[in-house]
Amino acid sequence: MAESPTRYGTFYGVSLGPGDPGLITCRAWALLERRDAVWVYPARSSRTPSYAFDIVSRAGLTPPAQHQTLLFPMTHDAEKLVRSWSRAADVVLPLLQAGRDVMFLVEGDASTYATFGHLLRVLRERDAAVPVEVVAGVNSFSAASAALARPLCEQDDTVAIVPAAYGVSAIDRLLQDFDSLVLLKVKPLIEDLFDWLEARGLLADACFIERCGAPDERVVRGAAMLALRGSTVSYLSLMLVKSPHRVRGERIRGCLKKAGPGGVSALATAEEE
């Protein structure tokens, strides 16, 4: 007698936004109200509370009967990271294969620099049949721009989203091509960034946002950021930097037409409306 096929549960990446429970989407909220699923959520260590779980707690959402922390250390050690993803998969995959839906709670957006993506890759390597749904969310830099009441980009502006760990020299090279820089994870490099902003004359057009949307959110604009020198800032911090001195090259208006009889694509010039 043939074995019945496995009835999988669905693995959900439930984006929660950067900290304000009001930014949880209707889709995410509806999923989190279910009582038949399992919640899992990331933390850096057993001594550090999960920020994702804090968001849903402040939202007044009650966890289901089964919920647990998954530990993902803050490190650049590739071997340690791989081990943490593997251990998390050891917890999650048996639940999914037993038919349980598992919701991975993600601060910000699950598709943007989230641990969810690493765990999802490991799960798919082990069992490609696991169903997946990713619930889109508000990312930190969109919420930060809203908090500042200023556009992140307009018209033909270009934007670079960069972890600050690449270093000031790498960030500096982006000024030639981008009108706005989103610098993430600025904590380890913040003093160097202040020096760079001053040297480049960008301080007036820069802002620092810490724990955006949380009760202890901190927004510091322009030269006032220099008062942060020597102080401790949260890992959940970013900077938005405008590059008002950038010289733009010629832009091509329109789009590519289909290749003609000679196989050569031609540019169609769009008329101004």
Average pLDDT per block of 10 residues along the chain, 273 residues long: 71 97 98 96 90 97 95 85 94 97 97 94 96 97 94 90 91 93 94 95 95 95 94 94 81 55 44 37
Q: What is the pLDDT of residue 149?
A: 93
Predicted confidence at residue 269, as pLDDT, reads 38
Asked whether residue 262 is assigned to any structural domain, the reply reads no
Residue 38: per-residue pLDDT: 97
What is the model's pLDDT at position 254?
Answer: 55
Overall domain count for the chain: 2
Q: Is 91 in the same domain as 201? A: no
Please report the pLDDT score of residue 271 as a whole number.
37
Query: Residue 226: which CATH number?
Result: 3.30.950.10
Q: Are 130 and 12 in contact (CB under 8 A)?
A: no
Asked if 41 and 94 sit in the same domain, the reply is yes
Q: What is the dihedral of CA 68, 115, 57, 219, to 10 degrees?
A: 150
Q: What is the pLDDT of residue 266?
A: 43
pLDDT of residue 253: 62
Instruction: Please tell me whether residues 181 and 226 are part of one structural domain.
Output: yes
Same structural domain for residues 132 and 156? no
Is residue 259 in a domain? Answer: no
Strand arrangement, sheet containing 159-163: 159-163, 180-184, 237-242, 206-210, 218-221
- 100 close to 37: Cβ distance less than 8 angstroms: yes
The confidence score (pLDDT) of residue 106 equals 96
Say yes or no: 68 and 151 in one domain.
no
- Flag whether 229 is in a domain: yes
Q: What is the pLDDT of residue 252?
A: 62
Which residues form the domain of 109?
11-138
Quick one: 145 and 134 in the same domain? no
